Structures are given as C-alpha cells and as structure tokens.
Chain A
Amino acid sequence: MASILTPPREAVDREVAAAISGGGRDARGLAFQTLLLMAMLMALGVLVWLLYSVIDGAVPVFSERSLGDFLSGRLSGSPTRFGVAQGIVGSFWILVFVAVFSFPLGVASAIYLEEYASDNWFSRGVSVLVRNLAGVPAVVYGLLGLFLFKGLLGSLTGGSSLISAGLTMAILVLPVVIITSAEAIRAVPQPLREGGYGLGATRWEVIRTQVLPYAAPGILTGTVLSFARALGEAAPLLIIGTATGLLTSSGGSVMETLRGKYTAMPMLVYVATKRPAEKWLPLASAAALVLLVVLLVANTAAILARNHFEKRRS
C-alpha cells in the first residue's frame, strides 16, 4: 500500500540530490522559461508593431491638420475635411444603449443564475446557452439586428438608426456581461454569505450588502471589456447600415437623434480604407488611432474604478 501512495524513497532522494547538486542549472526548466519569454516577446512585438504601423500611418494626417480639426471634422467626400466627430458621437450613443440595457439585464441575469436558480437542467441549459452565445460571431448578431430591429420593429426604431445599432450591440455583449458577472459572483467566498445569514439577514440583504459589493470589481472589469467590444465591432453595423458618405443633422430631440441615421468609429476606419488609398489610407490610420485611444481611456477608467471598489472591499 505504502509503495503505491508514496514514491520510493530512493527516487525522492535522487531528485532532491539532483536539485541541490545541479547548482540551480536546471537545463529543461531554463529552456522552458526562455520559450515562455520568447512567446511573451512575440506577442508584445506584434502589439508594438501594430501600434507603430497605426501611428506611422496616421502621421501624414496630423502633419497637415491639427488634431482638433480631425476630431471635429465630419464624414465627407473630401479627404481634407474628413473627421471623426460623428463617429465618436455615434459610438458614445451605442455605449449608452449597452450601459442602459446590457449592464442591468446582464448583472440581474447573473445574480439570478448564481444566487437564486436551483441547480437543475433548466439553469444548466441556460448557462450552456449563454456561454455559446458569447462565442457567436458578431455578423450573426448583425443579421439578428437586421431582421428584428430594422425589419420587424422598423417603424419604432427608424430602420438603420442608432436605436437599431445600439440594441443590436447591447444584445451582442449581453452574454459576455452575464458570464463575467456570474464568474465574479461565484468567486464570492461562501462564508461571507453564511455570515450574513447567521446574523439573520434575508437573501436579498445578503446579496445587496455582501455579494454585490464583493463582486463589484469583477463585474466592472467584465462590463468594460464588453464596452470595448461594442466600441470596436464593425460587422453588425455594416449589416444594419450606417451613413458612410455624408451625415448632416440640423439637430432635434434626443428621440429624433436616436431614430436617425448615424455612424460609428469602426465604420469610419472601414470607410476610409475603401476609398483611393493614396489620400485616404492615412485617414483610416488616424481614425484607428483615435479608436485605440478611446479604448485605452475606457480601459484605464475601468481599472481605476475597479481599484476603487477593491479598496472599499478590503
């Protein structure tokens, strides 16, 4: 019995002796470490190269125009006037939809799945479904948006409008929000809940005062990752349709804006790559750079917010 459960004494001795007498020269370990380092450097290299090529491509734009001019410029047929203001506004509204619909719906679903639903075939089925939905390509959600929001509900949404785009993006990121929130809630230590119950708190009180505050940083991180996805996705917008040549607006109520035509940051990058490359490709790089900076700012804000919540937790 003992010989099965514990390795033979001599073998252990040999290993220990080798580890000591090797003087730290663990050749295979070193090779493995080098391999890992190289993998990391390669990944980093690709990233740096991407950043470099985007910045390098954008240089001609910013040497001819001021940053403010490019940021305040609108969609245009002229490469000297083309700018990203409308893309920023459009992407901002899409994020509002994501924040208003995906965040509460996603977090609520996650709380239900983790805290209320009993472990039966239904809840397991829903979990599997949500996981699979998170892996569905964006184009497919675009088709959903096309049929549902532009087709069936077209008279309400206004067709190829901000509402259609925003709701489609909200649905697109919903599974991601649910999954990441559920993971964060699952990571809350069980004793925390039990302590709450022990003091006579109801389930709702435990969730509100113990579970959610503890899970908040995790939920936030996941949500912001999903924001980043909604910000960068072009495929669903291509299918639903956006303005690509010109978009002028004489203003109007918020509702009119939402039911109106729109464009978004990733679409501007796409549009610029379709035009004659000589003059337009630098604009595509410049727009991509703006998109990257916006993403970076969003992610930084998320990290700061997470740290803030984490500090409160401890």
Chain B
Amino acid sequence: MTRSQGMKWVAASVAALSLVATACGGGSDDASDGSGAAADLKGTIFVTGSSTVEPISSLVGESFNGENSGVDITVEGPGTGDGFKKFCAGEADISNASRTIKDEEKELCAQAGVEFVELAVANDALSVITNSKNTAVECLNFADLYGLMGPESDGVDTWAAAKSLGATTELPDAPFKIFAPGQESGTYDSFWELAIKKTAEEKLGKEKAEEKKLRTFGGLADDNEIIRGIQSADTSFGWVGFAFADQADVAKIKVDGGEGCVEPSAETVADGTYPLSRTLYIYVNKAKAQESKALQAFVTYYLENGAEFVEEADYVPLPEADATAATTAWEEFLAGAGGEATTTTAG
C-alpha cells in the first residue's frame, strides 16, 4: 500500500464513522427539538439511587427535557444504598430512594457537608406473592409473616410449620420456598420494617430483632429472577414492588394488618388500607439546588407533574396531604434559597 492510498483509506473510514455518529446523534436530538418551549434554562442534573424509583425519575426527566432542552439530565439506578454513597460524596444532585435515609448514611452526608431535602414522590406496595397454582394461601396476617420470615424462623420449611412460631392462619403442609430480594436491596429493608419489625421487637426485644432482621435465605438481586422463581415452584413465597407483581403471572397474597385481608392495588395503597405500602423518595442536594436554577426547576416540575409519571411507571401517586407536604417542604427551601440557606437538614 502506498502512502497516499493508505491515507485515503484512513480518511474514508474516518468519514464513514463520523457519518454514523452524526446520523445517530441527529436522530437522538429529534425528541427535544420538537417542543419549541422556552429553553433558556441551562445546566446538568445527575440523578442516582434506587432502581425502583429510576423509571419515575426517567419519565419526569424526559418530559422536563422536552420543554427545557438546554438541561442535560442523566438518570441511573445502582440501588438506594449505592445511590446515597454517591450522593453523600457530592457526586449527584438527586438521589432516588425506596426507603428513608439510614443514620449511618446521614452521618456520611454530614461528614462531607452535604445537606439535603427529603421529598416523597410516590407510594409503592410491597406485594407478597406466590405461584398462581397455590390457591391454598389467600391471606396472611403479621403473625403468619413472622412465623414464615421472622428472625426465629430459620428451620421453617413448610408453610404449616409457621404455626409453632405463632402463625394463626391454617396454612398448607407444603414446602415453603423463598424467592425474595437479598439484604442489599431496599425492598428487603422495607419488608422487614413494614411486616416483621413490630412483632419481632415485641417477641425478642429491639436489639436482638435488629441484629438478625429476616431469617436466613438466599436472596436474589433481580426482581425478574424473583418472579421466575415464584413461577417455578408450586408453593413459592416472595415479595416484590407493585410494578413487578402487577405485570407478571403470579398470585398476590392479601395481607391482614389487623383490619381484615387487603389486596395490594392502586386504590388500597392510595387510601392507606394496604398495610405493606412504602413511600418512595427523592433526596435533593441543597447546595447544588441553590446554585442551579435548572435543578430547582426540575424538582418543582417533579413535584407538580410527578403523579402522571408515577402512574405510567406502575406506582401509586401520593395522597393529597402527602403531596402537599412535599411541595410545602420544597417551597420552604426555595424561599430560603434566595439568600443564605437557613433551613435545617430534613429527614
């Protein structure tokens, strides 16, 4: 190959590759150009945290970007715990969370001088599920759940065996197979907090209960894996977020929190009758919000229009009162943000 031929070849391939790049880039810009709304806001917003909340924040961000194409938004979902690690290191503007911030995470934020506003954005039902063939189990109360999943239940390998630990419902004498999220998941913590904690503390005392939390089981990292597991065994047991249970062929078990059996649904979560509903949050870095008009506008947009996207992502919008509380907390921060921030750390 002569030198000039070589150069031509290189030039041609570079040209071809850059064509590909511009073609793709061009395609990806279409969505944001269409809207023609005011696009004077500029800035970047980085959202990390819970993978459960990720779809909501993504939908909100997509819509916000449609109106404010000058704002670059990135959303990722490594998990609530990992999210707080990044957030407290000052890497992220917003952290999605499927639970409230833990004390040790608050400590981390405080050490790094990161102050935040905690804002509730949606509700989610922890749906207790089993194989759709398992018609023998329709409803479980907290005593049953404690007998099946509590810290003392390590040897319980049939549903009926939960009786020895105080279960009150008549349960089938069939293998009890667990397919549920592992300890690193926010959904593990939520189940512990909502379903088991109270009973466990009454029986074992606070410290002992907190030490073990749920019984020992092989936790799964992936919600789809949990669903597949549930479908693979006739008398399986597990729990996932509402979106996963709602869209899959599994049976939702009703939960009795003391006032009768309630099935998880948008209505029962919204009116607060389903006992295992949890709140999903976003945490906003105060210092970053003070500096960035774009971030302020984004969070305001999130609170104003969130409900629509919450439903699209298959979660449940906050009840009126909680939504107003979140908006008020945010407005208070905004009012203080004009000058020196005086509001204290929320949480």
Binding site for B on A (CB under 8 A): 71-72, 74-78, 81, 85-86, 88-89, 92, 96, 159, 213, 241-251, 260-261, 273-279, 281, 312
Contacts and interface: CB of A to CB of B under 8 A. Distances in A.
B222 A274 contact: yes
A105 B281 CA distance: 48
B312 interface: yes
A106 to B, nearest CB: 18
Contact of A85 (B1, B24, B65, B312): B24
Q: Range of interface residues on chain B? A: 35 or more
B81 interface: no
Interface string B281-302: 0000000000000000000000
A13 B178 CA distance: 70
Interface in B43-74: 46-47, 51, 54-59, 61-62, 65, 69-74
Contact of B243 (A250, A261, A276): A276
Given A85-B24, A274-B223, A276-B224, A77 B72 contact: no
Contact of A260 (B29, B72, B312, B313): B72
Interface of B: 1, 17, 20-21, 24-25, 27-32, 42, 46-47, 51, 54-59, 61-62, 65, 69-78, 91, 222-224, 227, 243-244, 246-248, 309, 312-314
* Interface core residue of B21, B58, B61, B69 (most chain A CB under 10 Å): B58
A246 B247 contact: no
A250 B72 contact: yes
A274 B62 contact: no
A89 B24 contact: yes
A242 B76 contact: yes
B24 A88 contact: yes
21 contacts: A77-B62, A89-B25, A92-B21, A213-B1, A241-B78, A243-B76, A244-B51, A245-B58, A246-B57, A246-B61, A246-B65, A247-B73, A248-B32, A248-B72, A250-B69, A273-B224, A276-B244, A277-B247, A279-B247, A281-B224, A312-B1
Contacts of B78: 241
A242 B91 CA distance: 14
B56 A246 contact: no
A81 B66 CA distance: 14
CB-based closest 8 A-B pairs = A245-B75, A77-B58, A72-B27, A245-B58, A77-B55, A246-B75, A77-B59, A278-B247
